[in-house]
Protein backbone atom coordinates (compact mmCIF):
# COMPACT_ATOMS: atom_id res chain seq x y z
CA UNK A 1 0.00 0.00 0.00
CA UNK A 2 2.78 2.41 0.92
CA UNK A 3 4.60 1.64 -2.32
CA UNK A 4 1.48 2.40 -4.40
CA UNK A 5 0.94 5.72 -2.60
CA UNK A 6 4.59 6.68 -3.00
CA UNK A 7 4.53 5.80 -6.71
CA UNK A 8 1.36 7.85 -7.20
CA UNK A 9 2.91 10.84 -5.41
CA UNK A 10 6.11 10.64 -7.50
CA UNK A 11 4.11 10.32 -10.73
CA UNK A 12 2.07 13.42 -9.85
CA UNK A 13 5.19 15.45 -8.98
CA UNK A 14 7.02 14.58 -12.22
CA UNK A 15 4.01 15.09 -14.45
CA UNK A 16 3.62 18.80 -13.55
CA UNK A 17 5.42 21.30 -15.77
CA UNK A 18 8.50 22.81 -14.15
CA UNK A 19 6.96 26.31 -13.98
CA UNK A 20 3.92 24.99 -12.15
CA UNK A 21 6.10 23.25 -9.56
CA UNK A 22 8.12 26.32 -8.60
CA UNK A 23 5.92 29.40 -9.21
CA UNK A 24 2.51 30.53 -8.17
CA UNK A 25 -0.02 31.48 -10.88
CA UNK A 26 0.54 35.15 -10.02
CA UNK A 27 4.32 34.81 -10.43
CA UNK A 28 3.90 33.06 -13.77
CA UNK A 29 1.66 35.88 -15.03
CA UNK A 30 4.22 38.54 -14.14
CA UNK A 31 7.42 36.78 -15.06
CA UNK A 32 7.21 36.68 -18.86
CA UNK A 33 6.39 39.30 -21.49
CA UNK A 34 2.98 38.83 -23.04
CA UNK A 35 2.22 39.57 -26.68
CA UNK A 36 -0.81 41.84 -26.96
CA UNK A 37 -1.06 42.51 -30.70
CA UNK A 38 -2.60 45.73 -31.96
CA UNK A 39 -2.78 47.26 -28.48
CA UNK A 40 0.24 49.57 -28.75
CA UNK A 41 -0.56 52.72 -30.71
CA UNK A 42 1.50 53.80 -33.71
CA UNK A 43 4.05 56.18 -32.22
CA UNK A 44 6.94 58.48 -32.95
CA UNK A 45 9.77 58.72 -30.41
CA UNK A 46 12.53 61.33 -30.52
CA UNK A 47 15.26 63.02 -28.54
CA UNK A 48 18.43 65.06 -28.61
CA UNK A 49 22.08 64.44 -27.85
CA UNK A 50 22.42 62.90 -30.41
CA UNK A 51 19.31 63.93 -32.36
CA UNK A 52 17.17 60.88 -33.14
CA UNK A 53 13.65 60.05 -34.28
CA UNK A 54 11.93 56.70 -34.79
CA UNK A 55 8.43 55.97 -36.08
CA UNK A 56 7.01 52.72 -34.66
CA UNK A 57 4.06 50.49 -35.39
CA UNK A 58 3.33 46.82 -34.84
CA UNK A 59 5.62 44.96 -37.24
CA UNK A 60 7.55 47.94 -38.67
CA UNK A 61 9.72 50.90 -37.74
CA UNK A 62 11.63 53.66 -39.47
CA UNK A 63 14.75 55.20 -37.99
CA UNK A 64 14.61 58.69 -39.46
CA UNK A 65 18.12 59.46 -40.60
CA UNK A 66 19.69 62.66 -39.37
CA UNK A 67 22.47 63.38 -41.92
CA UNK A 68 22.04 59.83 -43.29
CA UNK A 69 19.35 57.87 -45.16
CA UNK A 70 16.36 56.49 -43.26
CA UNK A 71 16.65 52.84 -42.21
CA UNK A 72 13.74 50.40 -41.94
CA UNK A 73 13.19 47.62 -39.41
CA UNK A 74 10.85 44.70 -38.92
CA UNK A 75 9.90 43.76 -35.38
CA UNK A 76 7.10 44.01 -32.87
CA UNK A 77 5.78 45.55 -29.70
CA UNK A 78 5.70 43.34 -26.61
CA UNK A 79 3.97 44.38 -23.37
CA UNK A 80 6.08 43.67 -20.26
CA UNK A 81 3.47 43.63 -17.48
CA UNK A 82 5.69 43.68 -14.38
CA UNK A 83 7.53 46.77 -15.71
CA UNK A 84 4.39 48.32 -17.28
CA UNK A 85 6.25 49.17 -20.49
CA UNK A 86 6.01 48.43 -24.19
CA UNK A 87 9.21 47.20 -25.80
CA UNK A 88 9.64 47.35 -29.56
CA UNK A 89 12.44 45.15 -30.86
CA UNK A 90 13.43 44.48 -34.43
CA UNK A 91 16.17 44.05 -36.98
CA UNK A 92 17.06 45.91 -40.15
CA UNK A 93 14.89 45.00 -43.13
CA UNK A 94 17.99 44.73 -45.33
CA UNK A 95 19.46 42.04 -43.08
CA UNK A 96 22.63 44.01 -42.38
CA UNK A 97 22.78 42.97 -38.72
CA UNK A 98 21.55 46.27 -37.26
CA UNK A 99 19.04 46.06 -34.41
CA UNK A 100 16.67 48.55 -32.86
CA UNK A 101 15.16 48.45 -29.37
CA UNK A 102 12.80 51.04 -27.90
CA UNK A 103 11.20 50.81 -24.45
CA UNK A 104 8.20 53.09 -23.90
CA UNK A 105 6.48 53.94 -20.62
CA UNK A 106 3.47 56.12 -19.94
CA UNK A 107 4.41 59.27 -18.09
CA UNK A 108 4.96 62.95 -18.73
CA UNK A 109 8.11 63.67 -20.72
CA UNK A 110 9.45 67.19 -21.25
CA UNK A 111 11.77 67.73 -24.22
CA UNK A 112 14.59 70.28 -24.62
CA UNK A 113 12.11 72.90 -25.88
CA UNK A 114 9.97 72.44 -22.72
CA UNK A 115 7.13 70.73 -24.64
CA UNK A 116 5.26 67.98 -22.78
CA UNK A 117 4.51 64.55 -24.25
CA UNK A 118 2.58 61.61 -22.76
CA UNK A 119 5.26 58.90 -23.10
CA UNK A 120 8.94 58.41 -22.20
CA UNK A 121 11.36 56.31 -24.23
CA UNK A 122 14.74 54.65 -23.87
CA UNK A 123 16.24 53.37 -27.10
CA UNK A 124 19.28 51.55 -28.39
CA UNK A 125 19.83 52.92 -31.87
CA UNK A 126 21.25 50.89 -34.78
CA UNK A 127 24.74 52.37 -34.29
CA UNK A 128 24.65 51.29 -30.63
CA UNK A 129 23.91 54.67 -29.04
CA UNK A 130 21.73 54.42 -25.92
CA UNK A 131 19.43 57.43 -25.82
CA UNK A 132 16.32 58.65 -24.03
CA UNK A 133 13.55 60.95 -25.11
CA UNK A 134 9.82 61.42 -25.52
CA UNK A 135 7.07 59.75 -27.58
CA UNK A 136 3.63 60.64 -28.82
CA UNK A 137 0.96 58.87 -30.83
CA UNK A 138 1.17 59.48 -34.55
CA UNK A 139 -1.37 62.00 -35.79
CA UNK A 140 -4.15 60.93 -38.21
CA UNK A 141 -2.73 60.89 -41.73
CA UNK A 142 0.85 61.05 -40.52
CA UNK A 143 2.91 58.36 -42.27
CA UNK A 144 3.46 55.61 -39.72
CA UNK A 145 6.61 54.21 -41.31
CA UNK A 146 6.82 54.93 -45.02
CA UNK A 147 4.38 56.27 -47.59
CA UNK A 148 0.96 54.92 -46.68
CA UNK A 149 2.37 53.45 -43.46
CA UNK A 150 4.26 50.58 -45.13
CA UNK A 151 7.94 49.88 -45.61
CA UNK A 152 8.75 51.17 -49.11
CA UNK A 153 9.44 48.27 -51.53
CA UNK A 154 12.93 49.53 -52.36
CA UNK A 155 13.83 49.50 -48.64
CA UNK A 156 12.76 45.94 -47.79
Q: Is residue 156 part of a domain?
A: no
Structural domain boundaries enclosing 77: 43-142
Q: Is residue 83 part of a domain?
A: yes
Q: Is residue 15 part of a domain?
A: no
pLDDT at position 26: 45
Q: Is residue 21 part of a domain?
A: no
CB 59 within 8 A of CB 76: yes
pLDDT at position 148: 39
From CA 83, how far away is CA 33, in angstroms rounded? 10
pLDDT at position 19: 34
Q: Is residue 96 part of a domain?
A: yes
Tell me the pLDDT of the chain (156 aa) as tens digits.
444 443 433 334 433 333 333 333 444 444 445 555 447 888 999 998 888 999 998 889 999 877 788 899 999 999 888 888 999 999 999 989 999 999 999 999 998 889 999 999 999 998 888 999 999 998 877 765 554 344 444 444
pLDDT at position 54: 93
pLDDT at position 46: 92
Q: Is residue 11 part of a domain?
A: no
pLDDT at position 31: 41
User: Count of domains in the chain?
Assistant: 1
pLDDT at position 35: 53
Amino acid sequence: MRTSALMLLLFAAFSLPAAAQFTTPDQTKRSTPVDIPNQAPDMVCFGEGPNWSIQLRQGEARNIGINEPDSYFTGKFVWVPDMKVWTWQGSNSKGNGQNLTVTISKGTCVDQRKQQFPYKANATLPAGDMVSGCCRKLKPGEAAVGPGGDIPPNQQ
